[in-house]
Chain A
Amino acid sequence: MQTTRPVFLDLWRIKLPATGIVSILHRISGVLMVLAIPAAAVLFHQALSGPDGFAAAAGFLASWPVRLALLVLAWGLLHHLFAGVRYLLLDLGIGLERAAARQSAWTAIVAALAVLVVLAVNLGVTL
C-alpha cells in the first residue's frame, strides 16, 4: 500500500500513554467478559434450578482455578466499568485536554485495582 503518511517506528522512543493502556484494557476486559457469558448463563440457571443445583454451582465457583478466573473477570468488570464511565464523560466533552485525559486514565486503572482488592478481601473473609 502506497502512503505518504509519516511513519515513526523508533521502538525505543515509542511509549503507550495511560490513555492507550486504558483503551486496550477496556477491549481485553470486554472480550474476557463476552467469553464468560455462556458459562455465566449456565451457572445462573443451575443455581436457580433447586437446592442441589445451587450447591453444585457454589461448589464449582469455590474451586481455586475458578476463583482465579472469577478474580480476573471481576477485575475486567471493574476496569470496563470505570473506563466506560470515563469514555462517557469524554463523549460529553469532559476531560478532553491531554493532562486531564491522562489523569483520568490513571484514575480508572487505579480505581479498578483498588476496588478489586476490597472485593477480594471481602470475599476472602466470607468464604
Chain B
Amino acid sequence: MAWIIQRATAIYLGLFLGYLLIHFTLAPPADHAALRAWVTQPLVSAGLLLFLPVLLAHAWVGIRDVLIDYVHTLGARVALLTLFAFAFLASGLWALKAIIAAGLGA
C-alpha cells in the first residue's frame, strides 16, 4: 500500500513541482498582490489544495522508510514518527489556512 501511495503521489508532485519551478523561475511574484492573485486563480488554488495532502503523504511514507531503516529502538522510532506526523499536520493546516484566507480576500 505504501509502495503504491509513494508512486501515485510522486506523479502528481513531479508534474506540479515542475509547474511551480518553471512559474517561479520565469514569473516570480513581485509583491503581495501578485502572489495573492496567483494563489487565488481557481486552477492554482485547486492545485495547491491537492498538493498539500499529496506532498505530506509522500513525505510521511518517505521519512517512515528512512526511520524504519536507521532507528531500531521502538520507542525512539515511534516518538520520531509521531513528531513528524504532528509537524506535517501543523504545517499542512497552516498552509491551508493561508490559501483559504487568500481566497476569502483576507
* A residues in contact (CB < 8 Å) with B: 27, 30-31, 33-34, 37-38, 40-42, 44-45, 47-51, 53-55, 77, 81, 84-85, 88, 91, 119, 122-123, 126
Contacts and interface: CB of A to CB of B under 8 A. Distances in A.
Given A49-B98, A53-B32, 15 more contacts: A30-B59, A30-B63, A31-B66, A38-B91, A40-B95, A41-B90, A41-B91, A41-B92, A45-B94, A48-B101, A48-B102, A51-B31, A51-B32, A77-B17, A88-B10
14 contacts: A30-B59, A34-B63, A41-B91, A41-B92, A41-B95, A44-B98, A45-B94, A45-B97, A48-B35, A48-B99, A54-B32, A84-B14, A123-B25, A126-B28
Interface string B62-106: 110010000000000000000010011011101101110110000
B94 A34 contact: no
Contacts of B7: 88, 91
B11 to A, nearest CB: 7
A120 to B, nearest CB: 11
B24 to A, nearest CB: 10
Contact of B91 (A40, A47, A91): A40
A40 B87 CA distance: 12
Q: Range of interface residues on chain B?
A: 20 to 34
B42 interface: no
